[in-house]
A and B are shown apart, each in its own frame.
Chain A
Amino acid sequence: MDIILGAGFFAWIGAVLYPIGKYLVPPKVAEMSVNSVEAGGISEFPPSSSKIVRFGRRPVIVFRQQNGDFHALSATCTHLDCTVQYKSDTEQIWCACHNGLYDIEGKNISGPPPKPLMQYQVVLQNDKVIVTREEMT
């Protein structure tokens, strides 16, 4: 009886400790509610280049102008949710689906988009490009 009781007690300890352990160890899945993401190193962004990065569940377009300035905007067109691109020749954000254009601040300037793109802040820290949630619009 004592052996059975002892085994049962240890099994109970295991049943209690396992969920606690799983709770303490961070899950493999990426955190959904993020306030900032690293878009890459500064060297990955030569002038007139862009990159789409994942910000939680949203795609964000990070781009560097010819003059070296960085910007980050929501990459989802406000017309029909297509993914936008950075047009380095005109320094505008372009949606290829219906030829919608935004300026570098995300303001809709031509075509069907009904409202601006959400702005994100870009912080350069230790040679890294960090995009933060502090939306400016």
Chain B
Amino acid sequence: MRNLQLLGVILFFMGFLLAEQQPIPKEDACIRCHKEMDEEQEEGQKLFPDILNDIHLKRGLSCADCHGGDPEAFDDEDKAMWDNESFSGEVSRTDEIAMCGSCHSDPRFMRQYSTAIRTDQVKQYWTSKHGMELKRGNKKVAICTDCHGVHGILSVEDPRSPVYDMNVPSTCSNCHSNSDYMAEFGIPTDQYYKYRKSVHGEALLDNNDVGAPACNDCHGNHGAIPPDVSHISDICGTCHVNNDQLFQESHLKPIFVKRGFGQCEACHGNHEVLKPNDDFLNWEHGSVCVQCHEDKGGEAKIMADHFYTLLDSLKGQIAIANSFVEKADQKGMEVSDLLFPLEEAHKVLIQTRTSIHSFNKDYVEEIAKPGFEATKTAIEGGKAALAEFDFRRKGLFISSLIITFLALALYLKIKDIDRKQSKDKS
């Protein structure tokens, strides 16, 4: 056993050593010279050591593969760069897309690194808002290196990469939250601020839930473009399938389309999608329905009131069931059996909230029904557990009384026997 533990420790540290000993880029003429030059560079301008982590260098590519030149021309600057026809030096912003695409759009070339790797990034890029603007000659738009980094590009799966899921919002915000930089485009710059407060931002950035959407999940990444109003529900529906499906089949869908409303967005917002709460239906306080249904009555109010009351009622029943179960639990009764219907009721509550996207009273009631049944089971179980507790307490009191009474009776009997024996002797 000790040997196994020792082996485990050795393997653990070997893991670290192996991690450190990833392929070191070959020191060619470019690296040798630029390493020396790097020492004179200011912080922020230095290539090293970040460039040594670059995924391209690690996979055997060299500086010359992007910049041209002769990487074998050691100690001859002219031969390495200026006299070499292939040398391009700094890649211009307009040429960069084609340069990256020369490898990344070639399936045969890319397949050697991963069979599953995508090669449509450039094609998508030219359909994006960034690509379209670049085509028009606007060099301020994002190109490959603005998001992925320049020297020291990391895999998108590396948490240090600016395009790793959790880093995407701040990477996009580098430009999109800069009001001076974005001024000429005439679009808002509060998206990151709003997203950060949203349920998605909270899930991704606070709870590290990488399944939560970042900017690229709704807008696309290489083909980033603002979603068309009529297709917002398709995008939200990628994850919120049931909500989308119910809404698509609801009587409200054609009305939203006809009036040009942003479907999900009309009630939930876009970047600042807050955690929905039941007050969305509370006509008197916080209802989102009143944004369109300005009238104070009508069928919309009746429906909203009905849903709100139904949810409130189910929540109330869950709260009652919870209080009975908690009370019984505090008294030391076995209540784990009651947690199942309680969990069931919670799940039904979520399903009921989802079902509201159908805007169909009968359907919503049908969905909520098992929740009320589950709370009934939990309440009855909780009451039974409390009744059992009372019974046991009373039983303990009565049995204590019986034992005390019996002890007293025995004492008196013994005294009586003693007295009789004394009387007989005398």
Contact = CB atoms under 8 A, between A and B. Distances in A.
Q: Do A and B associate with each other?
A: yes
Interface of A: 1-2, 4-5, 8-9, 11-12, 14-16, 18-19, 27, 29-30, 32, 54, 57, 59, 79, 82-83, 96-100, 111-114
A96 B241 contact: yes
Interface size for chain B: under 10, 10 to 19, 20 to 34, or 35 or more residues? 20 to 34
B117 interface: no
Given A15-B398, A29-B334, A79-B209, 17 more contacts: A5-B410, A8-B402, A8-B406, A9-B406, A11-B402, A12-B403, A12-B406, A16-B399, A29-B337, A32-B336, A54-B340, A57-B343, A82-B347, A97-B242, A100-B211, A112-B209, A114-B209
A114 B165 CA distance: 14
B403 A114 contact: no
Nearest to A14: B402
B61 interface: no
Given A96-B242, A98-B240, A99-B239, A5 B339 contact: no
Contacts of A16: 399
A27 to B, nearest CB: 8
A5 B212 CA distance: 75
Contacts, number: 76
A93 B339 CA distance: 25
B407 to A, nearest CB: 9
A8 B405 contact: yes
Contact of A5 (B210, B211, B240, B409): B409
A112 B410 contact: no
A83 B402 contact: no
Interface string B377-408: 00001000000000000010011001101100
B111 interface: no
A51 to B, nearest CB: 15
B412 interface: yes
A15 B211 contact: no
Nearest to B242: A96
Contacts of B209: 79, 112, 114
Contact of A1 (B381, B405, B413): B413
Interface string B64-92: 00000000000000000000000000000
Given A111-B239, A114-B211, A32 B406 contact: no
Nearest to B239: A98
13 contacts: A5-B409, A15-B402, A29-B337, A30-B337, A32-B336, A82-B347, A82-B350, A96-B242, A96-B354, A97-B240, A99-B239, A112-B209, A112-B210
Contact of A79 (B211, B339, B416): B211
A99 B416 CA distance: 84
B413 A5 contact: yes
B409 A8 contact: yes
Contacts of B403: 12, 15
B337 A32 contact: yes
B174 interface: no
A15 B399 contact: yes
Nearest to B403: A12
A57 B337 CA distance: 7
A45 B334 CA distance: 34
Most chain A Cβ neighbours within 10 Å, of B334, B347, B410: B347
B94 interface: no
Contact of A57 (B334, B339, B406, B412): B339
A29 B341 CA distance: 13
A111 B211 contact: yes
A72 to B, nearest CB: 17
